[in-house]
Each structure stands twice: as C-alpha cells, then as structure tokens.
Amino acid sequence: MTKRVKGSCTTVLVGKKASIDGSTIISRNDDGHEALDPQRFVVVQPEDQPKQYQAVISGMKIELPDNPLRYTSTPNAILTNGIWPAAGINSENVAMSATETITTNPRIQGLDPYVEGGIGEEDIVTLVLPYIHSAREGVERLGALLKEYGTYEPNGIAFSDQDEVWWLETIGGHHWAAVRIPDDAYVVAPNRMNIDEFDFDSADTLCSDDLQTLIEDNHLNPDFNGYNLRHIFGSSSVKDTVYNNPRAWYGQKYFTPEVEQDPMDQDLPFICHANRKISIEDVKFVLSSHFENTKYDPYGDGTEAEKTLIRPIGINRNHNVHILQIRNHVPAEIAGVHWLAYGANTFNTVVPFYSNVNDTPNCYKNATGTFDLNNMYWLSCATALLGDTDYNFYVDFRNTFELQAMSVYHEIQNETDKAISEQADVQKFLEAANEKLADESLKRQTKLFGDMVISGSEHMKLRYNLND
C-alpha cells in the first residue's frame, strides 16, 4: 500500500431546527499533515465519473454503478496520493463531507483488523456521493462498501439532505455505526470517536448487522448500563485531552456558553443544543477559532505553556473549510450552497457558491503547486502567513474585511435568490452569480493582503528612525 496521508480535521453539524433559516448544515475543516496542500473547487460531470475506480493509496479496485449524478468537489490540486475530493453536493441536493480522522482502541482492532487493500479518505466521496438520493441512503451505501471492501483507517463521515443530517463512524476494518442528528441539535466532532450513547432499537440509528453481537460476544463494553460507543470502540488517551477534547469543548462553549465544562474532559457530549439558532457565521467562527478569550489562545495573553498546551481549531494546516448548506424555503434549484474558503481560517471568508452548476470560477478551480496570488488558495495562504506574524496588529484589518465581504456575499445571494424564478437557464444564471461572488472574493482578499503589507511595512524590525 502507498504511504498513507493522514488528516486531522474538525466537523460541525447542525440540524434544520437548530439553524437560523431552517437549513441543514454539515461542515468541516479539511486539515492535512503538511501546512500547504493546494486545493481546487470543481464540478464532476456524470461522464467524468470513473466506471472502474482504482485507489492510489490502497490499490483497491471497484466497479461503480451506472448513471452517476453530477456533484461539486474539492479535490487536491496535486494528485500524487489520489483525488481526495473532501466534500460536495450532488444534483439531488445531497451533501457529503469525508472524512474526519477518528480514534480507536486495540480491542476492536484485534477483532476486526484494518484492511490494507480497503477504502479510505482518498476514495469515499467518489465512491458514494454520485450515487445517493438522500442522507440515509449515503449511510447505507457507505456501510455496504465497508462491509464488502473494508477500510484501512478510522473515519467519521457526514451526510445531509433537506431534512436530515447523519454522522457515520467506521469501527475496525469492516464495522460501522451512524446516528441521525436531531433536528434541534448540533455536533462538534474532533479527531476522536465521537458517538457516545447509542440505541440499537432506534429509527435514528444504523449500524453493521452484527455490531451489538460483536460487543456482547467479545465483552467489549466497559459500562454497566447502555452502549456508549466512544467508551467501547474509541480511545481515552492523554493525547485526546490536549489534541481532541478541547476542540469539542470550545465549540460547545461558544454555542452553549451556560454549560460549564473542562476542556480535557473525555466525556464531553456528542449531541448538544445551542442557546440560540446557529448561522453560517457562527459555524465559520468555530471552525476558525484558536480559543479566543481564553488562556489557551496562541495569540493571547496566557503563559507560553498555556498557549501551546492544546491544539487550536483554526490552524496552519487548514487546507479548506467547507460549509455545505441544504436550504429549505427556497426552490430546489438553489437549495444547495457550497460555502468555501481556502488556507488557514484566521484570515479568510467563506463564499456561498451555488452547487447547481456545471462549472466553477477559475480562481477557485485552477490551483497548482506553483505559488500564484491570482489564485484564491495561494492568496489565502499568503494572507494568513502575514497575519500570523503579528495577529494583534492585523486582526482589525481581518475583522473589517470579513464584515464587508460577508455583507456583499449575502447581498449577491439575496439578489440571485429573488431573480431565480425569471431565469430560462438556471444553471447559467447561477454560474454567473458564482463568478460574481468569486470576483468579489478575489478582489477583497487581495485588498486585505495589500492593506496588511502597506501597514505592516511601517512596523518591520529592520528599520532606523533617522532619515537621510
């Protein structure tokens, strides 16, 4: 098997009654092992979907069904390790984000070892998203693939449609469990097994046929009552206390501030309820956060030990952040919105691209391994790098940029939504709207970068106060 590439992401899920406008939302920071990994935003047409798929990493080969759907995708620009589509929305307004790398323990690995020639993060979106017509169907298709082909790694995968949000976690080489997120709830999921209390008899859970028997026959349950899958199949390590648990803690602290919790707690809840309805801006803030207003903020006033103790959510290894919104109360033609930004999330904004299109804007589509400030991936990375040199000096530039940019994006979106009923060619109209959004994004990100360079040059250490 080719050398494995590992990610380390953060996921936020929001049910339709928990969101401000009745949308379902699945979102994730697509983080990587390296600081830079150029990303693209594309549309995969049915004729471009492979009929026979072969994984680069595992070498696994699979015959794919006929009649795939069109879908948006955010693949790697450099395909050495495969496509890694990460996320997308298909033409039936079903969204998928894959994957959140999770944790496991040796008890389940000893019973159901990983499959070296199985499927993994590189493959999952390509194998599933073009063939599903609901979130639940996505769970069922992926579950069947895991049973037949197995996996070489533990992952969490999100699905959504207009009504439902589902979260699936792989267990060992062939097993899995999935939960329908309640409509009035949200989830913040870091790189650990996240599902806790699991009801095998509920209509809102799905799993491998023999999962309960596997637990009972092999004495895997450490609890006296019930089935807590995190306790049964997950880890509870020192690394979790500093790498994973604090990210769930901070997201829950933001959405439900009245609940006091320890950032290192191994039993932070999976299903949560916010004290208000959740907006796209809320989700973006959490996925960009570095523990603002706490002693753990790397840019804050804590001690060096405190500022480096726990892993931030927004980090230099953010390659893209996607917020996949399936809207209700609008025509189906404009229900799917693929919000997207590139690079470390501290100095970018998400842009609301309509998913019902046949093509995407060039500055989001055409990244390569060559640095290019006319491309949004590289421009975003450059802005974040400069901002990191003096966050407290540059943060007001970022705040002004974010407020103004998001206001314009919402304005374009509102105008587009209102005009949709008058369009003879909806997809061309939405492609034009996406181009307008991308142009605004590139222009405003370039201005932010320029303003930071101009102002920052006055504060360089390489200076002297006397002039000629």
Taking only the tens place, the pLDDT of each residue in 168-192 is 999 999 999 999 999 999 999 999 9
First-to-last C-alpha distance (Å) of the chain: 64
Q: What pLDDT, on a 0 to 100 scale, did the predictor assign at position 301?
A: 96
Tell me what pLDDT residue 193 has. Answer: 98
pLDDT-derived band at 467, boundaries 50, 70, 90: confident
Alpha-carbon distance 325 to 160, whole Å? 9
Question: Vertex 214, ends 104 and 126: CA angle to 5°?
Answer: 55
- What average pLDDT does the chain have? 97
Q: Which residues contact 464 (CB under 8 A, 6 or more apart)?
A: none
Do residues 335 and 327 touch, judged by C-beta distance below 8 A?
yes
What gap in Å lies between CA 139 and CA 173, rounded to an integer?
A: 16
Task: List phi, psi (to 5°) of 63.
Answer: -85, 125
**In the annotation, is 9 catalytic?**
yes
Chain segment 307-330, per-residue pLDDT in tens? 999 999 999 999 999 999 999 999
Closest CA to 141 of 233, 48, 206: 206
Mean pLDDT score, 350-369: 98
Residue 275's CB is within 10 A of a number of other CB atoms, namely 9
- Is residue 1 pLDDT above 80, yes or no? no
Polymer length in residues for the chain: 468
4, pLDDT greater than 60: no
Query: Is 0.95 surpassed by the pTM of this model?
Result: yes
Percentage of the chain exceeding pLDDT 70: 98
Q: Do residues 7 and 30 lie in contact, with contact meaning Cβ atoms separated by under 8 Å?
A: yes
Catalytic residue among 9, 207, 272, 363: 9
Amino acid 7: pLDDT: 65
Q: Residue 468 pLDDT > 80, yes or no?
A: no
Predicted pLDDT at 2: 64
**At 14, phi and psi to the nearest 5?**
-140, 125
Predicted local confidence at residue 226, as pLDDT: 98
Res. 396: pLDDT tops 90: yes
Q: Is the pLDDT of residue 153 over 90?
A: yes
6 pLDDT band, cuts 50/70/90, is: low
**pLDDT tens-digit series, residues 423-465:** 999 999 999 999 999 999 999 999 999 999 999 999 998 988 7
